[in-house]
Amino acid sequence: MATRDSLPGPDPSVRDRLRFARQSVGELVPTPGEGIVGYVFLLPAFVLFGVFLAFPIVYTFYLSFFRFNGVGNDTLLWIDTGFLTYRLTSIADLEFVGLANYAAMFSDSLFHQALFNTTFILVVQVPIMVALALLFAVALDASFVRLRGLFRTVLALPVSANLVAYSTVFLLMMQDAGLVNYLLTSVGLPAIPWLTSSFWSRMTIVGAVTWRWTGYNMIILLAGLQNIPQQLYEAAEIDGATRIQKFRYVTVPQLRPVLLFVFVTSTIGTFKLFSEPVIINGGGAPLDSTITIVQYIYQAAFIDFRLGYASALTYVLIAIVSVLSAIQLNVGGESDA
């Protein structure tokens, strides 16, 4: 039985002394009240969230109504205490232009091109990738497949490749005289102008993105598959369903929420496309047929330094993504318990 104060045991060791010291320090720190502790834990993240996320979101919106003339230099606040002077400058030198930035988009053909390119890639790439990911997941989920873990790892491997590094490899493989065309011609097919035709250069991007993300989505779908109760398949089997029917009437409906998640995240991902077109097509070549929205925003902001216009573009993009996600969630979420 514990007796608190009598210490017949050995003398405290160094580690004990350290522990006692820590306890004493701990006792000095006042314990915050019940409603306060949560704030204390939240504070660091909240401050950073406010400064680097919430503020930029708001400020981007603000900026989208201005023309950017340069980094701020105007003094907002000047404190001179004699010893110390403190000067708070405005963040940027701005000129209010109202909705002009938004209006400018209507006549900006490059923006239209970027919007078209991104939509094209989205419409072609997302369905192909999700279908492939689903097929791989179903194939790997089949009961007779051996070495499942190995195949899963191999297929998911591209996610670990550095975005820029793998884009470079695609750039090289897709050259007119590159590996892919070599393989095509060696089996008697015509070589394809992967990087020089507008259509095929977009398809190159589609291929690269699909290569990188299919395995990632496959893992998510695989987990979803494993959550489908086995009894459903057994019941379908008893009802005489074929393999295809089981897939159509059991797998797909059961997987609906997971498929939805995959669709939404892939769509958002496609709208964020930047590294691949920049590296593979050197910033939109040929003839701006691969320039994406984010790439165009980057150009407007950091090459032309039209920050106000770029901010407006950003908000249009955010709006598009939000609306698309909402539509997908609504359509896909129907009939979902």
Partner 1 sequence: MREETRREAVWQFLTYGFILLGAVTTLVPLYWIFVASTLKESEFLSSTDPRLIPGDSFLGNFGALRARENVQFVGHVGEMTQYVDLGPVYFAYDFWNLWNMGAIESSIFIAGVYTILSLLLCSMAGFAFAKYEFRFKQPIFYAILATLILPIQLLVIPLFLLVSQIGLTNSYWAIILPWLANPLGIFLMRQNMRSIPDALLESARMDGATEFQLYYKIALPTMKSSLAALSIILFLFQWNLFLFPLVILDQGKYTIPVAINQLVGAQRVYYDQIMVAATLSIIPIFILFLFLQKQFVSGILAGSVKE
Partner 2 sequence: MSRITLDTVRKEFGSGGDKILAVEDVDLEIRDGEFLVLVGPSGCGKTTTLRCVAGLEDVTSGRITFGDRDVTGLRARERDVAMVFQNYALYPHMDVRRNLGFGLKLSTKLPAAEIDQQVEDVAEMLGIEELLGQKPKELSGGQQQRVALGRAIIRDPEAFLMDEPLSNLDAKLRSQMRTELQTLQHELDVTTVYVTHDQTEAMAMGDRIAVMNGGTLQQVGTAEEVYRDPVNEFVADFIGSPSINVFDATVDGARLDGPGEFSYHLSETDPVEGLRTVRVGIRPEDIQLVDNGIKLGVNVLEPMGNENFLYATLGEQEVTARIDPTNRPHPGESVSFAFDEAALYLFDPETGASLKTKRDGEVPTTPDSIPNREGVESTTGTGPDTGSNDDRMEETVE
Residues interacting with partner 2, by CB under 8 A? 1-4, 7-13, 15-16, 19-20, 23, 31, 34
Using an 8 Å Cβ cutoff, are 69 and 94 in contact? yes
CB of residue 324 vs partner 1: minimum separation in angstroms?
10
Binding partner selected for residue 317 from partner 1, partner 2, none, CB under the kind-specific 5 to 8 Å limit:
partner 1
CA–CA gap between residue 116 and residue 119 (Å, rounded): 5
Beta strands per DSSP E along the chain: 66-71, 75-80, 85-89, 92-96
Binding partner selected for residue 309 from partner 1, partner 2, none, CB under the kind-specific 5 to 8 Å limit:
none
Binding partner selected for residue 178 from partner 2, partner 1, none, CB under the kind-specific 5 to 8 Å limit:
partner 1
CB of residue 260 vs partner 1: minimum separation in angstroms?
9
Using an 8 Å Cβ cutoff, are 162 and 156 in contact? no
Nearer to partner 2, 13 or 162 (CB): 13
Nearer to partner 1, 72 or 286 (CB): 72
Q: What is the CA radius of gyration of the chain?
A: 29
Nearer to partner 2, 15 or 146 (CB): 15
Q: Label residues 322-335 b or e (16+ Cβ within 10 Å = b).
A: eebbeeeeeebeee
Binding partner selected for residue 282 from partner 2, partner 1, none, CB under the kind-specific 5 to 8 Å limit:
partner 1
Residue 268 token pair: 């958002």
Residue 73 token pair: 């230099």
Nearer to partner 1, 24 or 82 (CB): 24
Binding partner selected for residue 30 from partner 2, partner 1, none, CB under the kind-specific 5 to 8 Å limit:
none
- The CA-based angle 174-176-177, given to 5 degrees, is 95
CB of residue 41 vs partner 2: minimum separation in angstroms?
17
Residue 108 token pair: 């900006």
Residue 193 token pair: 């102008």
Distance of CA 143 to CAs 37, 65, 80, 206, Å? 50, 59, 77, 32
CB of residue 258 vs partner 1: minimum separation in angstroms?
7
Nearer to partner 2, 27 or 80 (CB): 27
Nearer to partner 1, 49 or 78 (CB): 49
Tell me, what DSSP letter sits at residue 52? I
Binding partner selected for residue 19 from partner 2, partner 1, none, CB under the kind-specific 5 to 8 Å limit:
partner 2
Helix (H) or strand (E) holding 247: none
CB of residue 13 vs partner 1: minimum separation in angstroms?
20
Nearer to partner 2, 24 or 109 (CB): 24
Binding partner selected for residue 99 from partner 1, partner 2, none, CB under the kind-specific 5 to 8 Å limit:
none
Binding partner selected for residue 15 from partner 1, partner 2, none, CB under the kind-specific 5 to 8 Å limit:
partner 2
CB of residue 232 vs partner 1: minimum separation in angstroms?
19
CB of residue 197 vs partner 2: minimum separation in angstroms?
59
CA–CA gap between residue 262 and residue 204 (Å, rounded): 22
Using an 8 Å Cβ cutoff, are 311 and 60 in contact? yes
Nearer to partner 1, 82 or 244 (CB): 244
CB of residue 12 vs partner 2: minimum separation in angstroms?
4
CA nearest neighbour of 213 among 119, 295, 294, 133? 133
CB atoms within 10 A of CB 154: 11
